[in-house]
Amino acid sequence: GNSVTQMEGPVTLSEEAFLTINCTYTATGYPSLFWYVQYPGEGLQLLLKATKADDKGSNKGFEATYRKETTSFHLEKGSVQVSDSAVYFCALSARGPMNSGYSTLTFGKGTMLLVSP
């Protein structure tokens, strides 16, 4: 079955520090990969995505590259801000049966990021 493993948190950083959150996956076929972010008391927001090997997703200074050879999709940001404090979920999307019209997301356990001034 599909699975996603991401580093345990919390990750505690000072403002302007470099961020890496590791994510590796196991999947059959060729899944799409996502990073979602959840701010306190809110739903999930898509942060970035990559749909095939070597694709780089980027948004708001965050980046992640789909590495098929290492089955990884690590999240990075060069300089974090206090406002980046949130829980980050790595996820993969697998299509349902042919013509089913849906796909299913498999999430990692989430990594809480705490950024202090």
Residue 34 contacts other proteins per CB under 8 A: yes
Which stretch, 15-23, 58-66, 69-77, 91-99, contacts other proteins (CB under 8 A)?
A: 91-99
Name residues contacting other proteins, limited to 38-67 (CB under 8 A). 41-46, 49, 51
Q: How far is the CB of 79 from other proteins (least distance, A)?
A: 27
CA proximity to 88, closest of 22, 41, 15, 26: 22
What is Dmax (Cα atoms) for the chain?
Answer: 50
Beta strands in the chain (DSSP E): 3-6, 11-14, 19-21, 23-26, 32-38, 45-50, 56-59, 62-65, 75-77, 86-95, 103-107, 111-116
**Among 56, 60, 68, 109, interactor with other proteins by CB under 8 A:** 109
Interacting residue ranges for other proteins, rule: CB under 8 A:
31-32, 34, 36, 41-46, 49, 51, 89, 93-96, 100-105, 107-110
